[in-house]
């Protein structure tokens, strides 16, 4: 059986590919996002590319047109995300992903008028301040406090794993405003200027030696009450904003396909690698088949959303399958280069850097919902098993 997209979706895919071919610098010319100290160069590169996306209204692909978005269907969004992931293009923007959509629903007129245009014109870099050392999967237990004092709220506490916090101009902050209420009912959302006195961002370098996330500390940080978003103590419900974004996890198979293609080219150019490990061809064939499965799982979700259905367990299945497959692709890459794969940066005579992706993909089954939490969802909402 051959699956084909509608012709307008395929035409859109070609348009995106042509845009990427023209506007995205060659991989060798892109700054390394994780290299410690390279944040300004990386930020300029990402914002430069995203401004070009914004000029076509593609940056806010899912947003309604009246807010500067493209108003795309779920299939169009998915194809866009697939092509961006395949090209390794920096299209993720947290302002677009949740700050803007939340403001559209719950923001004051002033917030909408001031913040939303700055998101769509890529003026500000946003980070997400949710997780804390003791609150990740159980986010509703977060402890960072916001206490009203005159026209301000005073913030004290700590966040962790804040992706790109070291580059951020603004933070999307969840803080506890009522410590006596049940935990889901005492949280409030704030817009936080990251340059406010008392905010300190400290780097966390991950095991692949990359500076991608941070710890953020708040010591008596004063945030104007006008930066509160939505209702006091209703932040938990505002956080779970009903985004009309596609939830297919297509980025995993898009990126996996790129990596497998690279490996195929390496093997063609260095056939002796297969001599050292004949099973590598079978392993790569397995990954190819799995990538097709991951792609179809993702397509299924976009197709459901297109029909007005809300994917639930299906989104968890696709996320787990895609993230775990990304790790298997990285393992296959290690097997391709053999012992030299233990060395970083393709050194030691290795024709391709296998160690960095091997280490970097570990986090994909943690960020954006851990595999265990997703399995709980599949078990309870999918299989109807009782809660443990």
Ligand X SMILES: Cc1cc2nc3c(=O)[nH]c(=O)nc-3n(C[C@H](O)[C@H](O)[C@H](O)COP(=O)(O)OP(=O)(O)OC[C@H]3O[C@@H](n4cnc5c(N)ncnc54)[C@H](O)[C@@H]3O)c2cc1C
**What does the binding site for ligand X look like in residue numbers (CB under 6 A)?**
128, 130-131, 136-137, 161-163, 213, 363, 366-367, 370, 372-373, 376
290 part of the active site: no
- CA–CA dist 273, 263 (Å, integer): 11
- CA–CA dist 336, 346 (Å, integer): 12
The residues, ordered by sequence, that sit 6+ positions from 126 with a Cβ below 8 Å of its Cβ are: 93, 94, 95, 99, 119, 168, 169, 170, 171, 172
Nearest approach in angstroms of CB 305 to ligand X is 23
Cα 153 to the chain's mean position, in Å?
29
Q: Which is closer to ligand X, CB of 191 or CB of 304?
A: 191
- CA–CA dist 172, 103 (Å, integer): 11
Nearest Cα to 176, choosing from 118, 256, 221, 235? 235
Q: Which is closer to ligand X, CB of 137 or CB of 347?
A: 137
Nearest approach in angstroms of CB 48 to ligand X is 22
Task: Decide if 369 contacts 358 (C-beta within 8 A).
Answer: no
Q: Which is closer to ligand X, CB of 225 or CB of 362?
A: 362
> Among residues 82, 132, 246, 290, which one is catalytic?
246
- CA–CA dist 388, 380 (Å, integer): 9
Task: Decide if 263 contacts 255 (C-beta within 8 A).
Answer: no
Nearest approach in angstroms of CB 130 to ligand X is 3
Nearest approach in angstroms of CB 230 to ligand X is 18
Q: Which is closer to ligand X, CB of 135 or CB of 227?
A: 135
Residue with smallest beta-carbon separation from ligand X: 136
Contacts of range 291-294, beta carbons closer than 8 Å, 24 or more positions apart = 291/253, 291/256, 291/257, 291/260, 291/325, 291/329, 293/321, 294/249, 294/252, 294/253, 294/256, 294/318, 294/321, 294/322, 294/325
**CA separation, residue 4 to residues 85, 172, 257, 334 (Å):** 20, 39, 18, 34
- CA–CA dist 61, 208 (Å, integer): 32
Nearest approach in angstroms of CB 42 to ligand X is 16
Q: Which is closer to ligand X, CB of 39 or CB of 131?
A: 131
Q: Which is closer to ligand X, CB of 162 or CB of 295?
A: 162
Q: What are the residue numbers of the active site?
A: 246
């Amino acid at each position: 059986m051959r699956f084909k997209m509608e012709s307008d979706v395929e035409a859109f895919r070609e348009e995106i590919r042509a845009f990427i071919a023209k506007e995205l610098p060659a991989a060798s010319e892109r700054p390394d996002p994780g290299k410690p100290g390279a944040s300004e160069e990386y930020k300029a590169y990402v914002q430069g590319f995203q401004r070009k996306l914004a000029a076509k209204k593609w940056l806010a692909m899912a947003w309604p047109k009246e807010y500067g978005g493209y108003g795309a269907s779920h299939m169009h969004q998915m194809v866009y995300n697939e092509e961006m992931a395949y090209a390794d293009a920096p299209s993720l923007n947290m302002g677009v992903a949740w700050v803007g959509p939340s403001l559209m629903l719950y923001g004051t007129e002033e917030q909408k008028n001031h913040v939303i245009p700055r998101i769509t014109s890529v003026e500000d870099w946003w980070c997400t301040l949710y997780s804390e050392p003791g609150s990740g999967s159980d986010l509703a237990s977060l402890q960072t406090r916001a206490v009203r004092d005159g026209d301000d709220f005073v913030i004290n506490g700590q966040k962790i794993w804040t992706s790109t916090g070291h580059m951020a101009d603004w933070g999307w902050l969840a803080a506890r405003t009522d410590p006596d209420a049940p935990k889901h009912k005492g949280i409030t959302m704030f817009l936080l200027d990251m340059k406010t006195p008392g905010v300190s961002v400290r780097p966390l370098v991950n095991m692949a030696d990359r500076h991608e996330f941070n710890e953020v500390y708040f010591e008596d940080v004063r945030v104007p009450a006008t930066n509160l978003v939505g209702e006091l103590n209703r932040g938990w419900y505002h956080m779970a904003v009903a985004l009309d974004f596609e939830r297919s996890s297509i980025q995993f198979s898009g990126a996996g396909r790129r990596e497998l293609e690279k490996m195929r080219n390496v093997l063609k150019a260095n056939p002796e690698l297969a001599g050292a490990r004949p099973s590598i061809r079978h392993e790569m064939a397995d990954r190819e088949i799995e990538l097709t499965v991951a792609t179809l799982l993702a397509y299924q979700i976009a197709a459901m959303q297109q029909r007005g259905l809300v994917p639930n367990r299906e989104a968890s299945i696709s996320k787990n399958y895609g993230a775990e497959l990304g790790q298997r692709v990285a393992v296959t890459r290690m097997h391709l280069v053999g012992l030299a794969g233990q060395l970083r940066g393709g050194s030691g005579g290795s024709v391709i850097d296998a160690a960095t992706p091997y280490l970097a993909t570990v986090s994909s089954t943690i960020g954006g919902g851990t595999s265990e939490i997703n399995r709980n969802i599949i078990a309870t909402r999918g299989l109807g098993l009782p809660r443990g």
